[in-house]
Amino acid sequence: MSFLVDRFSRSMSYLRLSVTDRCDMRCLYCMPVEGEPHESRSEVLTFEEIRRLAGILCGLGIRQIRLTGGEPLIRSHVPDLVRMLAGIDPLPELSLTTNASRLSRMAAMLRAAGLARINISLDSLDPEKFHRITRGGRLSDVLDGIDRALEAGLAPVKLNTVVLRGVNEGEILDLIEFAGSKGVENRFLEVMPLGAVGYENRAGFVPAEEIRGIISRKYRLEPLPFRDGSTAREFRADGGRLRFGIISPVSERFCATCNRLRLSARGRLQLCLGHEDGVDLRPPLREGWSDDAITDLILRTVREKPAGNHFATDPEPVFQIAMSGIGG
């Protein structure tokens, strides 16, 4: 049961927690080459502050916490944060989304600290194209990271691909075969018009229907039942050997069953990816508010969660800050 209920009777049980807005890659649909202006260290929540807010939110009904960013694994000592979050009662399921540049040396530590599952961004299997899309990333690091995550027992491992026309839509079938060979699942994402670069890349938008079409030319797709709160329409193919999901925040919104909240690295509780509504929780934390007072503020804010995004209809970029700032 969740006390985090909005005016549309949606219950929040999932928190995406950005641990840093910095990133060591510059994916062309996510961050400009020069990067985004980032928060100074003192503006970013400490692990103790994150743990306190996460504890309050789990007490109110959050059951899953996903660490993200920016690149979560470039913040020092992230396994310590995972261990701290694993001490919350009731224990939330802990997961992480990463570009895997540093995953190979950290996977076992993260698992030992209490991380359950992991999503790894992988937009191409071609080293040069991967380098181009990420503007500097090394594919071999990511492939090593996937193997180490599997060895460490992180499960499930999922591979996230943002599909862009003229860039990687021709690799969808290869990515599915690759995931099948590793026994992991794909997630294909529609590009969202977030921030300046997301908006610029809307010309590369490939709708979910077209992604399904590309896959169904080779495989007979078996749709899996839609799970409330999930953002992916999931499918099996080839007798269950292949599993993938398509995340379609633009063409087939899933806002009516949204169960998500986001906490930015500087402590802003954000209600929806497509709107700026939210509340800054860092001042209350640093001004010594009690847990009860912070709880009240959170409950009042959550009630105002917007009905949904307008990615498909807004003529302008929906947001002036990029995914890295919101905790994508």
Given 55, 61, 198, 274, the residue binding ligand SAM (CB under 6 A): 198
| Cβ(132)–Cβ(105) below 8 Å | no
Single-letter residue type at 314: D
What whole-number distance in Å separates Cα of residue 146 and Cα of residue 154? Answer: 10
What whole-number distance in Å separates Cα of residue 328 and Cα of residue 323? Answer: 5
**Nearest residue to 261 (alpha-carbon basis) of 304, 290, 316:** 304
> Which of the residues 18 through 77 are near ligand SAM (CB under 6 A)?
23, 27, 29-30, 68-69, 71
Show the site string, 113-132: x = touches ligand SAM by CB under 6 A, - = not: --------x-----------
Given 92, 114, 145, 328, the residue binding ligand SAM (CB under 6 A): 328
Question: Of 272 and 285, which CB lies nearer to ligand SAM in the complex structure?
Answer: 272
Shortest CB 85 distance to ligand SAM, Å: 17
Shortest CB 125 distance to ligand SAM, Å: 15
The closest residue (CB) to ligand SAM is: 328
Show the site string, 308-327: x = touches ligand SAM by CB under 6 A, - = not: ---------------xx---
Ranges assigned E (strand) in the chain: 14-20, 64-69, 93-98, 117-121, 157-162, 185-189, 221-223, 232-237, 242-247, 260-263, 268-270, 278-280
Give the burial string for 153-168 (b: 16+ CB within 10 Å, else e).
Answer: ebeebbbbbbbbeebb
| Residue 98 in contact with ligand SAM, rule: CB under 6 A | yes
Compute how many residues bind ligand SAM; rule: CB under 6 A.
Answer: 21
**Count of beta carbons in the 10 Å neighbourhood of residue 86:** 15
Shortest CB 25 distance to ligand SAM, Å: 7
Give the binding range for ligand SAM (CB under 6 A) out of 48-56, 188-196, 218-226, 285-293. 188-196
| Cβ(123)–Cβ(27) below 8 Å | yes
Question: Of 55 and 137, which CB lies nearer to ligand SAM in the complex structure?
Answer: 137
Single-letter residue type at 256: A
Shortest CB 15 distance to ligand SAM, Å: 15
Q: Using alpha carbons only, give the angle 133, 100, 321 rounded to the nearest 5 degrees.
A: 60
Q: Rule CB under 6 A: which residues touch ligand SAM?
A: 23, 27, 29-30, 68-69, 71, 97-99, 121, 160, 162, 189, 191-192, 194, 198, 323-324, 328
